A and B are shown apart, each in its own frame.
Chain A
């Protein structure tokens, strides 16, 4: 949020979430601007994935306000399906639809939601397959793909709806090491197009390279946020220092 003229894409204010006794998010507030790439880091169970899933209401907050694209999604009267059309999401486990081919996976939402007719959707799907370097896989069953290929198809599927925010929930955590590079490459290119991206990841190298801002979650709180430079080279928060020293030695 360095440039004041940047439009606020995501506005989060005083959000709390508990599962029974377990208070997973405490008073989270953050604003994310259009075209910004924000990377969330932190230890497992720190609440970063829960936070990400709240931005398209796969989880609902106990209280607080979440505004995405000008829609208050914490308000029950908001048509969440409409808002979700503009928020793409990529999951750790890909979640490609097993009952469809690659092409059908990408075409399903635009066609079903009346965004495009079949011909237009297929044209767009093939373009997207080119973007993720999998044009030759259009007609195969998704079960025949490797993890890295699946994740790139999942990104293409999300992009087919032309979203203006993309959420990534640990997109490379379930991949074999040699697959990680291809997926990060696609994400880097996407960031280059000016897409607003919010990414939960453990890939620190990627965060340094691509993020406009890095946010450190711990114990359900944002402990520190700043440029990659500030976070990785001059961390102030004691827990962040501890976290970084652990992962750098690992």
Chain B
């Protein structure tokens, strides 16, 4: 028992130290900005074969930062989360192939427009669809919050198609290729890059982008004027000296293999594993760290909720029931978005994604834990409490010495089940940009378009970890029975 306590302490301290170090590192450098970006938006934003974030946006930003003497911490996430993080003040700037629109101008201040783009639409290679009118009663896949999505919605009635939403481009393309959806609307250069990269799509309007417009670097409206000024100054300079043209040519002119790795490495599971071993390991580590810390803290919180739930005090019982009701009722992703994107604008404090994810898991898994802990305590025979009280033991002592040990034993199978659910639920947190195993998989697929192999690898890793976790839990269960 003492050893276990020591172990828990070490894990919690390690986690806390890690947060602490991140914060210190930020404080040391001036000026350092937090810039968000779309994690899967080639050729503007994506991870290259060395797992470095690169693309037209990233090279422009890197070059300008160097010239103008500022540093930044890059936070890759979904496009939606990237823009919302900035509009809610969680981050300082966003560069994510974001089109400048009037609607966005109400929320963001944009730097000098840096790339002229437009909307393109594409269908599966060999599809019989020839024009927009062929889309009647078909399904169109669009990416949440993009200009392509807005445009598709604006013509949806006219052409009579259905829409389905996605958060990352690769899943979206695969949906069209697999035939679940028949077409997609998106930024033309992005679709073209994907096609060049081997995605089996056909661009329908390569030469005539719809609603041609400009991409811009955005900051929260009225904030970060200095950052915007630096960006504009740097951008004017690289436009003048030809660096900008070189960057664009590098991405739109070069063959895809330059960034995605050679075909051989992507053609086998082993090749993919070898090429991405450090990425998979990092992702796995984040998943494990989230799982372990969340399991421990959610169990502590859940047991507390359960003890409150069987308390003699009606107020505490009510509080426990209410907390369990709320946090068991909220979908995990809604809770994550609420804490990560919603809360900071109200409390005026940034919440790091890892912390937000951890709090989300603790509240959600803790509520489920609280419910079965309460049930477990209630399942202990009433006579046990009466016998303990009749000997003169206080309520608290009777709980600790008699009811809790017996209740916990009843709950062991529920705990094991909850641990496995917690591990799996960490994958939902990829939505707020935590680079855990699932998000790592998304990034690799967006680069090499090897959906089947990469997701098979990710699935097997999860199964291995879950098997180990189950073995460990069963071993603990056996030992407590003996």
Contacts and interface: CB of A to CB of B under 8 A. Distances in A.
Interface of A: 56, 58, 81-85, 87-89, 91, 93, 95-99, 108-109, 112-113, 154, 157-158, 161
Contacts of B405: 99
B380 to A, nearest CB: 9
B397 A112 contact: yes
B277 interface: no
B391 A95 contact: no
A89 B384 contact: no
Interface residues of B, number: 18
Contacts of A98: 384, 406
Nearest to A84: B392
B383 A81 contact: no
Interface of B: 381, 383-384, 386-394, 397, 401-402, 405-406, 409
B408 to A, nearest CB: 9
- Interface SS, B side: helix
Given A95-B383, A109-B391, 10 more contacts: A58-B390, A84-B390, A84-B392, A88-B390, A95-B381, A97-B387, A97-B406, A109-B392, A154-B387, A158-B391
Contacts of A108: 391, 393, 401
Contact of B390 (A89, A93, A97, A113): A89
Contact of A85 (B384, B392, B401): B392
21 contacts: A58-B386, A58-B389, A58-B390, A84-B389, A85-B391, A87-B390, A91-B386, A93-B383, A95-B381, A95-B383, A95-B384, A97-B384, A97-B387, A97-B388, A97-B401, A97-B402, A99-B402, A108-B401, A113-B392, A158-B390, A158-B391
Contacts of B401: 97, 108, 112
Contacts of B386: 58, 91, 95
Contacts of A109: 391-393
Contacts of A85: 391-392
A100 B409 CA distance: 13
Contacts of B384: 95, 97-98
Contact of A56 (B383, B388, B390, B409): B390
Contacts of A113: 391-393
Nearest to B407: A99
B387 A84 contact: no
